[in-house]
Chains A and B, each alone.
Chain A
């Protein structure tokens, strides 16, 4: 077992650095990515290594620089466009939802759009609701893009590298609340992730990638399947510890990418456990969570012992108040309650 200490933010940086060393067409553009060294220090040191031609500070003009990235991708470059927060990308919606994912289709396959959009996603920092968006449900609905919500430094690195090697628009929704996770090594992670270093990327392996569309079982179990991604994976693992005391053994399936979705792994797990709770950090209505529930009902109707339940952000704007914001998010308490309800043990 490695004693490695690598933060989530460092894993993202490693992915970008390794791919940029391999491919001269890759550049990083965004607000404060260069001289400021990254508003969240994700790109720290990258200006020094790659210079201002490839690490480009943009003005606060998301429509402009997101769209510029798309034009550059059409020309043949491989842009990484960083949104300081995904909450800020909505002003660029026409570019990232109309131009990027549809370019290949609308041009009859002539122009691809190999671009990576990445940045912080999700609430939890008392920023008020405008800065607290979780974008996965709105964006996963759009054909032509791929979307990942990594939950660990290992996944953040492996998925981003796969996205950078790919030919399609790739949206990496990273968690601001998790950027520092891994600073204390495995101590920062649930004991379920310790064995086999499920949380850390392998050291000195520049070829390491994680294929998009491959779910990961973060904890095996027999009684109930939890399907989730991103930060809520850790809430689910926290719930697993509490439920273990009650003799309930849950399986945590981290889908890692909502689009494409590894429905096969989910189905196999639900066929084994016969019960399922879907946890998703966006609002419940027409969400990735509701999509997964629909899929499970279509495919596993005869395997289920009861309806699939869901845990989401509550259906309100994120409140500023620290405690009420935590209440609003998916959390271990809600997941624990949902599992017990799904197993008729409430």
Chain B
């Protein structure tokens, strides 16, 4: 589906109540204010490791997740790569748990065992950030398989960056999703940069990514990821078209009647190319020297996703400047509170090092400890 034909269709976002629009604005501002605090804390060396900032891409997470079931967050799961703070917060993870995780605190979503790239929140249907590029794609297909197997009506959003487009895991997952018609949407957060390598240098057919979906007979859509309402419109349509996708192979003997169409199944999986812009470097350690001449960030800032929705709300009288200021103050306070919470929380204790390895007892030896190996477990700490 091209943006041109989409523009002639009724826009699902026209149905959004002012309160829902303000919630979307707040969610985007929260991500931005949160990430500003994240960068600050990283500079102060309170956050370690690799840390990938979501600023610029807020409309992708918020526009897509706003199109999922809002009543039951576990119904429509999301899973993604390592630039995961944005979709974790948009899915409803409390900023405190997200920030505390980055601080390595036991109050973090994964008790300080995962860090920036590994945000999990089972209650909110957040199946994790996964840090090996493309490694989340089979998981997304698998969660969708689980939904289909249990005959539930959920839809999975599986986020990937354009760097993951060239990984085998992505292609294998597209194939499985297509042959079994799984209720999954592969969400390409296309910021054009695979770390420091431009998409045109790393991805064949980068100018026409519909080819990636066509190759598997999967529905394709694209949208402007700097425009949260356009993103929402796209996802509202495609989520509806993906929901309740049925496996055609469950009826033995029907496999020889399967037909694939280049444009994909009207009720099946989808590949959505969301064109976005990463304002910051690949990670906190990236000075972006390769990028100085392009002007892409300056151009994007003139179409900033948050300012775009602010203008939309003000122009239509759906919010006042005072409302906007209040939302921003609330987001700033939440972000500041997240940092204070993380600061005040206890470190991941040594006693947590050996939990969550197995469901029952710690291995690898069934009994007797490790007399010849000095570990934190038996060194008396």
Which residues of A pack against B, CB within 8 Å?
27, 47, 51-53, 58-59, 61, 63-77, 91, 94-95, 98-99, 103-112, 114, 140, 143-144, 146, 166-168, 213-214, 259-264, 294-295, 297-299
Known contacts A264-B367, A264-B368: A95-B146 contact under CB 8 Å: no
Q: Tell whether B175 is near chain A: CB-to-CB under 8 Å.
A: yes
Q: Are B250 and A52 in contact (CB under 8 A)?
A: yes
Which residues of B pack against A, CB within 8 Å?
77, 79, 108-114, 118, 120-122, 127-128, 130, 132, 135, 137-147, 149-150, 168-169, 172-173, 175-176, 179, 247, 249-252, 355-360, 363-368, 371-372
List 20 contacting pairs A-B, 8 Å CB cutoff, sorted by A. A27-B149, A52-B252, A63-B172, A64-B141, A64-B173, A67-B135, A67-B137, A67-B141, A67-B173, A72-B145, A76-B150, A77-B150, A98-B135, A99-B130, A104-B357, A106-B120, A110-B109, A168-B359, A213-B363, A299-B371
Q: Which residues of B contact A108 (CB under 8 A)?
A: 108-114, 120, 356
Known contacts A52-B250, A64-B169, A294-B372: A109-B356 contact under CB 8 Å: yes
How far apart are the CA atoms of A42 and B114 in the complex, in Å?
Answer: 39
Q: Are A109 and B365 in contact (CB under 8 A)?
A: no
Q: Which residues of B contact A73 (CB under 8 A)?
A: 142
Q: Which residues of A contact B249 (CB under 8 A)?
A: 52
B364 contact from A52, A77, A143, A214, Cβ within 8 A: A143
Q: Are A70 and B142 in contact (CB under 8 A)?
A: yes
Q: Are A106 and B139 in contact (CB under 8 A)?
A: no
Most chain A beta-carbon neighbours within 10 Å: one of B137, B141, B146: B146
How far apart are the CA atoms of A95 and B182 in the complex, in Å?
Answer: 19
Q: Are A106 and B113 in contact (CB under 8 A)?
A: yes
Known contacts A68-B138, A140-B364, A299-B371: A107-B110 contact under CB 8 Å: yes
Q: Are A107 and B122 in contact (CB under 8 A)?
A: yes
Q: Which residues of B contact A146 (CB under 8 A)?
A: 358, 363
- Pairs of residues from A and B, 9 with the lowest C-beta to C-beta distance, nearest first: A71-B142, A67-B138, A64-B172, A75-B146, A298-B372, A108-B110, A167-B359, A213-B366, A71-B139
Known contacts A94-B135, A99-B130, A108-B109: A259-B363 contact under CB 8 Å: yes
A to B contact number (C-beta, < 8 Å):
187
B252 contact from A47, A68, A74, A104, Cβ within 8 A: A47
- In whole Å, how far is A142's beta carbon from the nearest beta carbon of chain B? 9
- In whole Å, how far is B175's beta carbon from the nearest beta carbon of chain A? 6
How far apart are the CA atoms of A18 and B366 in the complex, in Å?
Answer: 27
Known contacts A52-B249, A260-B363: A110-B110 contact under CB 8 Å: yes
How far apart are the CA atoms of A111 and B368 in the complex, in Å?
Answer: 28
Q: Which residue of B lies closest to A107 (CB)?
A: B120
Most chain B beta-carbon neighbours within 10 Å: one of A51, A65, A146, A259: A65
Q: Are A75 and B143 in contact (CB under 8 A)?
A: yes
Q: Which residues of B contact A262 (CB under 8 A)?
A: 366
Q: Which residues of B contact A66 (CB under 8 A)?
A: 138
Q: Are A74 and B139 in contact (CB under 8 A)?
A: yes
Q: Which residue of B lies closest to A103 (CB)?
A: B128
Q: Are B138 and A64 in contact (CB under 8 A)?
A: yes
Known contacts A53-B149, A61-B176, A263-B365: A74-B113 contact under CB 8 Å: no
Q: Which residues of A contact B368 (CB under 8 A)?
A: 263-264
Known contacts A106-B110, A107-B110, A107-B120: A70-B139 contact under CB 8 Å: yes
